[in-house]
Amino acid sequence: MKVLDFAKKNKLLLAVALAYVVLALMAPTRAAGALSNSVYYLKEMVQVLPAIFFLTVVIEVLVPKETIIRSFGEKSGFKGYLLALLLGSISAGPIYAAFPISKTLLNKGASVANVVIILSSWAVVKLPMLANEVKFLGPDFMLVRWVLTVLAIFAMAALTGLLVKNKDLSIEKTSGQSLVIAPEYCIGCSICVKMAPDYYEMQDNKAIVRRLPETAEEAAALEPTVAKCPGKAITLYPEVIRK
């Protein structure tokens, strides 16, 4: 049973391992190269992600929600577009580092459109990349490409904002539960377990729900665990209790 449970919880990991085995049997040289690249990116993630998670905690704890709403919210207008473009352009690190930060900003009131701008500018118009572009391709090429790219990013952001709303991005409720932990976001820090051991416990280096809150008071008492979760993996649904 434990083997089956492990397989169910790690389908992607097992699929990747199987792909490596098949590749090793069919093309050993390519398998070695693929494994080397994977190890390289894993090392990069180990170096980058702790700093990113620390930054998400800083944003969550030190930056007031009102500031995020005013700067990046639905009513921030074109000013929000420009601030989002600036934030994405001056950011450092690979694009996957932007995802937990974007999730934190969404949770604190940033609009979908502005998060699209942050992600897109982070990927294709970062300042260090522009400097290299000027060096190899010239300033005229860089300027024209930058203007067209920014216009495309703004258009894509506006369209995405019309089609996707913040409420559509909330963690999916599971069987009407009032307390849900998304395992894909849990980093195994055990902060929630230390704060509320009656409601959380660790299993396979991931936090899981031990007991659901049954009253509005119990749900309110768990709000600090939601706020302090570095991965933003915990979601409370008090309305489920009221029903």
Cβ pair 52, 45 in contact under 8 A: no
Give the span between the Cα atoms of 225 and 83, in whole angstroms: 30
Strands, E assignment, the chain: 179-181, 200-203, 206-209, 234-236
DSSP string, 190-201: -HHHHH-TTTEE
The topology (CATH level 3) of 179-242 is Alpha-Beta Plaits (3.30.70)
Give the span between the Cα atoms of 115 and 121, in whole angstroms: 10
In the block, tokens 């391992």 appear at 17
Each residue's pLDDT tens digit, 84-143: 999 999 887 788 888 888 888 887 889 999 999 999 999 988 888 888 899 899 999 999
Cβ pair 170, 235 in contact under 8 A: yes
- Taking the CB of residue 240, how many other CB atoms lie within 10 A of it? 17
Each residue's pLDDT tens digit, 60-89: 777 887 888 899 998 899 999 999 999 999
How much is the pLDDT for 189?
A: 92
- Single pTM value for the model: 0.63
Residues of the chain with CATH 3.30.70.20: 179-242
Each residue's pLDDT tens digit, 132-189: 899 899 999 999 999 999 999 999 999 999 998 776 665 444 456 788 888 877 889 9
